[in-house]
Amino acid sequence: MDPDVRGQMPDPKHTARATRSAGRKMRSLLLDGASRLFRERGLSGTSISDIAAAADAFPSQITYYFRTKEALFVEAACRDMLYVARAAEQAALQATTPRDYTRALVETVTATDSVAFFAEALTMTRRRQDLAPLVERTIERLHGEGSRAYAGQIERHGWRSLRDPDATSRRFWAVAIGVMVEGYAMGRSPDQLAGELLRVLGEQVAATSATAISANDGPRLRLVGENGAATSSDGETAS
């Protein structure tokens, strides 16, 4: 081949990187468009053509990147859930007390419908087990990143907790998903959802504390706020 001609040809590695970058961008655009439409219209009310139009793409690109509309639904819901979890952790970084930390988490996750969207994806995997691994990975990331964030705050502020960070994170998300699914079914507002979630978290802490006392299983670890008062890991005053 003529050296001059060969020099004008694109580098294969550069071409591959450009192709991967374009692919990631298209996936992101499709997920953005799908997330908005799924939230507004639901799975059955959203067509592949609608999603393609919203992302300025072709319907064939949806099947190329995601195979099915259901798979796109689950991936969009999982991505949104991780986004809201990250936002909640960022908001909670400003907290200086356990109570404020919990309230920041609660107010952030109840301000959007991301948790309800994710709950729909959870139920879908009951019929589509091929989609379950993505949901499982998302849940593990929620727990892992939440645990690390909370452990960082414990170390930063010198808090002491009734539970270890992993158990605290798992409990928070389990309660949040349950409360918000019920709340959306009942038509509750974000403020009502936040109040209900804080109430349930507080009641569970009180029940745990009472059980520990009655069982006489030794001294309990408590969070100590900046005023020296003992509080639970969720910000409620420990008895």
Q: What is the C-alpha separation between 162 and 149, in angstroms, rounded?
A: 17
Chain centroid offset of residue 154 CA:
21
pLDDT in 10s for each residue of the chain, 239 residues: 555 555 565 565 555 565 777 788 999 999 999 999 999 999 999 999 999 999 999 999 999 999 999 999 999 999 999 999 999 999 999 999 989 999 999 999 999 999 999 999 999 998 899 999 999 999 999 999 999 999 999 999 998 878 889 999 999 999 999 999 999 999 999 999 999 999 999 876 555 555 444 444 443 333 333 444 444 444 443 33
CATH 1.10.10.60 domain extents, the chain: 19-66
Between the CA of residue 186 and those of 100, 178, 215, what are the distances in Å? Answer: 27, 13, 37
Domain covering 19-66, topology: Arc Repressor Mutant, subunit A (1.10.10)
Please name the residue that has the structure tokens 């309800």: 116
Report residue 142 as tokens. 């929620």
Per-residue pLDDT, 204: 64
The CATH class of 70-239 is mainly alpha
Minimal CA–CA distance to 96: which of 224, 218, 10?
224
CATH 1.10.357.10 domain extents, the chain: 70-239
Helices (H), the chain: 3-8, 12-41, 48-54, 59-66, 69-92, 98-110, 114-124, 132-157, 165-185, 190-215
